[in-house]
């Protein structure tokens, strides 16, 4: 290879649909996952889990488990505490114990751990553990949790990481893990003055992320470091949090992340890492804990939510006031739920230009499995509510759904509910493109007879998680090839490919010359986490800065030896300097966007570095006799700024859409007294190939994020936003049945049709 | 940990005898070596080796080997060439084939490779291979090689890396792989004018490095990269050279080096890596080739040499002219021999201030196993010759050995034979300190009867290998702990500990906060190699620069958020900037010393960035009846600049001394028609605990290397310099027998005693 440093930002690498860098490894089955990892002397850990939703532990009898031949050790909280006196972790609250201490807070909570060389022995022994519980009153509903006498945690322990949680420290007798409030203008006055006031309440269900690779961690206590191989989206956080628990320095903990079989938010912060690490240190042996698919149902879920939205509207359909009240069912441990509450909170009024806004958003502890981040970070639930609400207003006012949106849309330069002015937010462009692709203003055949046709549109938006930090290193070798070091986790979204493109574009070298190194905290520098569609923007910036730094140093190197870097092949520059193929040029980039914390009213002039916009149009056919419906067309439009890799962007949009389709049509965790009754993929249906809409179109609209690296912004979640309300509105458009709870089932439509006809269900 | 950035260069970390960072891992047996590595699907490779010293391959019959059950594959050069059309490697010449192509050039040369899942099967199959040779005339002696009709290589192929080899490209009918010439003043005229002219010829033997871990490589053909786990001292070179052979980019080859069980120069450049890599790629499976101790005898040796030294001397003992002619027996492949020839060549006159100098130094191909770098890089051989010569002159002139050295020593600021002025070279200081510790000017009891006592001193010096490059990265975590990334290989010399001390000292943080990452070309940046005592100086500089860069960035980070880095704990600075424990500060350091290439006369004003000085004083007791002798006292003094870690420096001096003691007293590879006849540790004795001198004293004299990082310089080799001649001179002092060939055996002394007495050996 005799590459010359080409032009930077020439479009040679960025914006091209190059194949994914990991494609070959994956299709040949050679890509390595933590599940494949076996270390000499490794023990397998199996968890004994709580059978009650809320209870005090009177005693744990591990004698039968210990007596089972082949069992190496059985640990309970009493053992953990010898190693870690304060064994509570969490990104927002230090509320989650490594193993249950004194109390259990949900069914499925880890109470004891069995280690054995044979995982089947460990599994059998875990079932022999007998725990005596004193059951306590439990609360499962998020709205009830506001006022319930059943208190999940006796005292709140914020982690100290987020300023808006600090006032909760030491608070008792409450299930509220965060209350977010935003006030803009005077909503109550505006309601009084409005021509119409509409108020609707919506429900979303608790669902699962269902990465096809269940969570797995191997902890290896080497002499100088504790090495943790884990299927995590946040290696830097795992390192810092495990080091904190142990009272160690960061560099005594090494976290390595190979390929991930999906993440979607299920693998963020600490999941099984603390338990695996503690067990490995107690045992003095490597330990692997790999969850079964069933166990994933107890590990982390998406928040169920109740959302009440009230709007004041003029006769012309202009929304003048909006009140939103949202209760997020956070389950037994806060995880990152308070951030979901706050980050989604301030966009609750939707992409609309409303002068008077009042938002109250609550993260609530309940006795269900903990909820955390899931693709969209609360936005799909919000959009489901506010876009259903928009259509219900339009219908009441006999307005066209497109027209009411055109009237109210938040246009470029206008203040969002926080007061932050909209910049580079393609709300209008995406909406208009959706109208165009849906032929919205042309006649639509609504069918007849038993089969009725309908259509719906919905648009949502999201802020980036801010302010968060990414650091990258770019190392150019003497032959002009290049290594990129960053802790962004490629979990299928194609970030390795994107980062290679960023580096190549910024350096001005072929993308084929770039290798991206897998996250390993001993190797790749700090990154906040791979979540919230932040990597393209944040790590993209960091990699670009690092590559630019390397380019500057390479230019200087050339200058030092009397050469021009623009015309001399890179190997020749190194050769002139070092006399042979030798040396490296190393560039460093560190990026954090600017940000202004909101004031007590939730107001800030800088709420986010960029906005993500996603819209969906749906066409459905509904069978009026059975309530069954099928999606005949789904159009998904997203503002991604400039797409880094159009082919990958397309798969991000379609993947997000399909995932949201599962939540829209089938997925729901069912509970009976806190016990999940469908904790298996036999009972919990996720979308299959037959569930793909007959026609599905995905498009990145033509936009540029001026502040983004080469004009790019995040895309991982935007495809989820509009799916649920577009389909609900299409059903309503077809048969006049408005569903306000997810999932949207044929049964619910049938019930609606029967009620509409004034007929009993069984006639 | 709440470390505040302390003062840099405060002496808090540098110069302290902290325990080695790897001590716990090693004493608990948990340190990992390549020998321990087993990968899924891994095959073992066993080599079939040439039985003739020089021959044309008429045919290779692998049928019996292939037919052995369990054999996966048998490869010869014909297979290698399918993958690598030009399968020749080497740092100085591209002369060494991965497997013998058409010809063999020494006994033990790899001719074929067998792969099997069971290494015993591979071994058995390797013995079934039958090669038909047409034997060719061979040459084994280095002086004969100058004029022999037996030509080892038909045509010379310089690698293009070293300018002084370029004129050899395409040269035929020669065994000279480098001829180095230095002329200063007019030696011939000075000889004519001298009061006395002395000329002596010395011999040194071919020896082995004997690392206790024989060479081993595992090559793993992963989908995106070829990963090479190897016990190498030069991971960066392995990456570049393997990439070159394959025609790949550097970043498609990853070289990982865990702990090394010793190196001493045996594990430099390419050893078994190319063969292992090629086999793994051909097989599509991981391949391990681990040499037996016997096979090490065929892999790499230290040069045998013949050294002729001639001096013109005044009646007062001032040396006015010196002529040196040195023939280095490089064996069948050049490896780094030409560098040994050149780098040692210009110090051949010794640490003496001589106006008229003529040096001719030759690297010669012969039909012995290839010779390469070995601790001291040719200097112990030179010192052996020139210091024996010094004492022989002193004896002839009836001068005291200390007095003749005092008269001729090269003092600070004076020009060395290249013309380069001596700076920070403790030649005088080391010599005077040696005289003091040996009580040289006091009476010495020479014994009586059968046991006679004698003493000797010797002093030598060495230049650093120049100009060579080291790059380092220092990454400070948000809690103030720190990772150092460098490709220096800790092979027992304590470099990990030293680099931690450099980083801590430069940053101003506790050394306990620093972790040094193992070499891995995907992780740690370029380093020329771990050789020639270069790491402390070169990588010490790079790490110091990287730490200073990180410190500057941390100071700036503090300033940006209105804090003082001197008074604020590091975690608080990060927390203020990022709102939580987040982020990294990454510093980069790249170092290459300045250097001026010598002119045609070998003259340069800048031959080396620093000088290493080592001296030894020996006291011996010789049994005049048997020739047996024992070393009763060995005093080793070294100029190390400021010692990084005095305890480790002491072990470097004692280790080097003991190694040279082996070469001085026992070690010699014996050959019969090119076949090594003592290729086992049963027949080839290395020093054991009973061979340690009764009294052994090691001291780093009080010096500062002004240009060194914190005043330090290299120390790994200096302990070897004076050992052989000091002992030889002590024997001569005791019994008047002057030995001029190594090793110094009781038999040789006995022969000398009998000759001295004019008696036959068997009387």
State pLDDT tens for residues A275-327.
Answer: 999 999 999 999 999 999 999 999 888 999 999 999 999 999 999 999 999 99
Of the candidates B202, B487, B426, B513, which has an alpha carbon nearest to the alpha carbon of residue B327?
Answer: B202
Residue B321 confidence (pLDDT): 98
pLDDT tens profile A253-274: 999 999 999 999 999 999 999 9
**Cβ contact, residue pair B523, A526, below 8 Å:** no
CA–CA distance, B763 with B757 (Å, rounded to integer): 11
Residues of A in contact with B580 (CB under 8 A): 161-162
Taking contacts as CB-CB distances below 8 angstroms, the residues of chain A near B582 are 236, 240, 468-469, 526, 528
Looking at chain A, the whole-number percentage of residues with pLDDT higher than 70 is 100
| Gap between the Cα atoms of A327 and A365, Å rounded | 10
Percent of chain B, pLDDT > 90? 93
Pairing of strands A371-372, B130-135: unpaired
> Of A473, A486, A491, nearest to A518 (Cα)?
A486
Q: Which of B224, B469, B471 sits opposite A586 (nearest CB)?
A: B471
What is the predicted pLDDT for the residue at B2? 57
ipTM of the complex model: 0.86
Work out the end-to-end distance of chain B between its first and last CA atoms, rounded to an integer number of angstroms. 76
**Residue A208 in contact with residue A669, Cβ under 8 Å?**
yes
What gap in Å lies between CA A543 and CA A500, rounded to an integer? 9
Helix H or strand E segment including A81: helix A77-83
Of the residues A273, A432, A505, A717, only one is catalytic, namely A717
Residue A660: closest CA among A719, A746, A732: A719
Q: Is residue A722 scored above 60 in pLDDT?
A: yes
* Residue ranges matching CATH 3.30.365.10 in chain B: 23-31+468-591, 301-465+599-756
How many whole angstroms from its chain centre is CA B526? Answer: 19
**Partner-chain residue, chosen from A236, A243, A481, that has the shortest CB–CB distance to B249:** A481
| Under 8 Å between Cβ of A680 and A293 | yes
Look at the pTM and tell me if it is higher than 0.90: yes
DSSP state, residue B225: -
Structure tokens at B702: 């009080």
Mean pLDDT (chain A) is 96
CATH, range B34-138+215-290: 3.90.1170.50
| Residue B743 φ/ψ, nearest 5 degrees | -75, 165
User: Which residues belong to CATH 3.90.1170.50 in chain B?
Assistant: 34-138+215-290
Residue A719: CB atoms within 10 Å: 32
Q: Tell me if residue B432 is catalytic.
A: no
Q: Which CATH number is B23-31+468-591 given?
A: 3.30.365.10
> Which is catalytic among the residues B619, B625, B717, B747?
B717
Are A522 and B526 an interchain contact pair (Cβ–Cβ within 8 Å)? no
Tell me the pLDDT band of B763, cut-offs 50, 70 and 90.
low
Fill in the DSSP letter of residue B527. Answer: B
Q: What is d(CA A493, CA A484) in angstroms, rounded to the nearest whole number?
A: 17
Tell me whether residues B525 and A586 touch, CB distance under 8 A: yes
pLDDT average, residue stretch A490-513:
96
**Element (H or E) spanning A197, and its range?**
strand A196-204
pLDDT in tens, B601-642: 999 999 999 999 999 999 999 999 999 999 999 999 999 999
Cβ contacts below 8 Å, chain A against chain B, sum to: 160
Q: What is the pLDDT of residues A659-684, one digit of tens each?
A: 999 999 999 999 999 999 999 999 99
pLDDT tens digits, residue range B429-455?
Answer: 999 999 999 999 999 999 999 999 999
Q: Which residues of A touch B586 (CB under 8 A)?
A: 471, 473, 525, 588, 590
pLDDT at A2 over 60: no
Beta carbons of B353 and B191 less than 8 angstroms apart: no
Q: Is the dihedral of CA A109, A115, A119, A122 positive or negative?
A: negative
Phi, psi of B218 (to 5 degrees): -120, 130
pLDDT in tens, A132-148: 999 999 999 999 999 99
- Quote the minimal CA–CA distance from B289 to chain A in Å: 21
Fold (CATH) for A301-465+599-756: Aldehyde Oxidoreductase; domain 4 (3.30.365)
> At B344, is the pLDDT very low, low, confident or very high (cuts 50, 70, 90)?
confident
Interface test mutation site (partner B, options A235, A477, A538, A587, max chain B beta carbons within 10 A): A477
Peptide bond into A482 cis (omega under 30): no
Query: A478–B25: do the CB atoms touch at under 8 Å?
Result: no
Cβ <8 Å between A581 and B473: no
In a mutational test of the A interface, the residue from B41, B251, B521 whose CB has the highest number of chain A CBs within 10 Å is: B251
Q: Do B477 and A222 touch (CB under 8 A)?
A: no
Q: How far does chain A reach from its first CA to its final CA, in angstroms? A: 77
**Closest to A30 (Cβ–Cβ): which among B223, B244, B581?**
B223
Chain A residues inside the 8 Å CB shell of B255:
none
- Quote the pLDDT of residue A6: 86
Closest chain A residue by Cα to residue B485:
A523
Contacts of A577 in chain B (CB under 8 A): 592
CB contact under 8 A, B467 and A578: yes
What residues in A contact B478, CB-CB < 8 Å? 240, 250, 526
Q: Which residues of A touch B338 (CB under 8 A)?
A: none
Confidence at residue B345, expressed as pLDDT on a 0 to 100 scale: 86
Q: How far is CA B687 from CA B492, B518, B692, in A?
A: 18, 30, 8
Distance (Å) from the alpha carbon of A514 to chain B's nearest alpha carbon:
8
Q: Above pLDDT 70, what percent of chain B?
A: 100
User: Region B727-754: what's the mean pLDDT?
Assistant: 97
Residues of A in Cβ contact (< 8 Å) with B522: 483, 515, 517, 523
Fold of A42-138+212-262+266-299: Aldehyde Oxidoreductase; domain 3 (3.90.1170)
State the DSSP string of B270-317.
-SSHHHHHHHHHHHTS-EEEE--HHHHHHH-EEPEEEEEEEEEE-TTS
From the CA of A413, how many Å to the nearest CA of chain B?
Answer: 28
Chain B residue closest in CA terms to A2? B249
Of A24, A250, A517, the CB nearest to B477: A250
Q: What pLDDT sits at residue B319?
A: 98
All CATH 3.90.1170.50 domain ranges of chain A, comma separated, are: 42-138+212-262+266-299
């Amino acid at each position: 290879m005799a590459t010359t440093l080409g032009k930077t930002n020439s479009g040679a690498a960025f914006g091209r649909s190059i194949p994914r860098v990991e494609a070959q490894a994956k299709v040949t089955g050679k890509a390595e996952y933590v599940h494949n990892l076996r270390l000499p002397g490794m023990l397998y850990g199996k968890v004994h889990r709580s059978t009650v939703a809320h209870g005090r532990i009177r005693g744990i009898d591990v004698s039968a488990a210990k007596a089972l031949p082949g069992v190496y050790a059985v640990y309970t909280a009493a053992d953990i505490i010898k190693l870690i006196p304060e064994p509570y972790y969490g990104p927002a609250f230090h509320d989650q114990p490594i193993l249950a201490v004194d109390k259990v807070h949900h069914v499925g909570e880890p109470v004891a751990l069995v280690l054995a060389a044979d995982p089947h022995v460990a599994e059998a022994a875990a079932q022999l553990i007998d725990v005596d519980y004193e059951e306590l009153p439990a609360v499962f509903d998020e709205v009830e949790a506001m006022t319930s006498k059943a208190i999940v945690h006796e005292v709140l322990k914020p982690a100290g990481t987020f300023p808006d949680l600090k006032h909760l420290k030491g608070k008792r007798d409450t299930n509220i893990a965060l209350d977010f409030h935003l006030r803009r203008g005077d909503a109550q006055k505006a309601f009084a003055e409005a021509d119409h006031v509409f108020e609707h309440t919506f429900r979303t269900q608790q669902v699962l992320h269902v990465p096809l690779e269940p969570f797995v961690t191997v902890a290896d206590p080497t002499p100088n470091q504790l090495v943790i191989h884990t299927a995590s989206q946040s290696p830097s956080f795992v390192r810092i949090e495990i080091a904190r628990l142990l009272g160690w320095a960061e560099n005594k903990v090494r976290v390595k992340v190979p390929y991930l079989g999906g993440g979607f938010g299920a693998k963020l912060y600490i999941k099984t890492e603390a338990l695996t690490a503690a067990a490995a240190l107690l045992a003095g042996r490597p330990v692997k804990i790999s969850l079964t698919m069933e166990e994933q149902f107890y590990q982390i879920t998406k928040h169920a939510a109740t959302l009440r939205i009230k709007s004041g509207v003029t006769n012309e359909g202009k929304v003048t006031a909006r009140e939103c009240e949202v209760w997020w069912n956070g389950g037994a441990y806060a995880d990152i739920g308070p951030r979901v509450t706050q980050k989604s909170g301030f966009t609750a009024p939707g992409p609309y230009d409303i002068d008077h806004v009042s938002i109250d958003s609550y993260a609530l502890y309940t006795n269900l499995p903990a909820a955390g981040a899931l693709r969209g970070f609360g936005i799909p639930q919000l959009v489901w509510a506010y876009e259903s609400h928009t259509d219900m207003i339009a219908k009441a006012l006999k307005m066209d759904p497109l027209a009411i949106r055109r009237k109210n849309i938040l246009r470029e330069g206008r203040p969002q509910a926080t007061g932050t002015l909209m910049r580079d937010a393609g709300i209008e462009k995406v909406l208009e493109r959706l109208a165009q692709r849906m032929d919205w203003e042309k006649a639509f055949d609504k069918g007849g007879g038993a089969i009725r046709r309908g259509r719906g549109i919905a648009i949502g938006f999201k802020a980036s998680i801010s302010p968060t930090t990414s650091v990258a290193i770019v190392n150019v070798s003497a032959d002009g090839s290049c290594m990129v070091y960053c802790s962004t986790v490629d979990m299928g979204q194609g970030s390795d490919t994107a980062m290679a493109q960023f580096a190549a574009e910024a350096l001005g070298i072929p993308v084929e010359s770039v290798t991206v190194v897998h996250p390993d905290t001993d190797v790749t520098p700090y990154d906040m986490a791979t979540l919230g569609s932040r990597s393209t923007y944040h790590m993209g910036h960091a990699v670009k800065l690092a590559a630019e730094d390397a380019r500057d140093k390479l230019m200087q190197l050339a200058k030092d030896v009397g050469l021009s870097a623009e015309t001399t092949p890179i190997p020749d520059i190194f050769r002139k300097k070092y006399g042979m193929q030798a040396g490296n040029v190393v560039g460093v980039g560190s990026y954090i966007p600017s940000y202004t914390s909101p004031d007590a009213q939730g107001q800030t002039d800088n709420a986010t570095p960029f906005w993500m916009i996603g819209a969906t149009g749906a066409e459905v056919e509904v069978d009026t006799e059975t309530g069954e419906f099928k999606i005949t067309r789904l159009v998904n439009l997203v503002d991604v700024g400039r797409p880094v890799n159009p082919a990958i962007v397309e798969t991000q949009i379609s993947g997000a859409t399909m995932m949201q389709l599962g939540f829209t049509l089938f997925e729901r965790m069912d509970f009976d007294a806190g016990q999940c009754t469908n904790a298996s993929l036999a009972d919990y249906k996720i979308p299959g190939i037959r569930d793909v809409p007959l026609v599905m179109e995905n498009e990145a609209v033509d936009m540029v994020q001026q502040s983004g690296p080469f004009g790019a912004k995040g895309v991982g979640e935007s495809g989820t936003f509009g799916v649920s309300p577009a389909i609900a509105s299409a059903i309503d458009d077809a048969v006049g049945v408005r569903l306000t709870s997810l999932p949207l089932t044929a049964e619910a439509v049938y019930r609606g049709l029967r009620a509409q006809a004034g007929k009993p269900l069984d006639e």
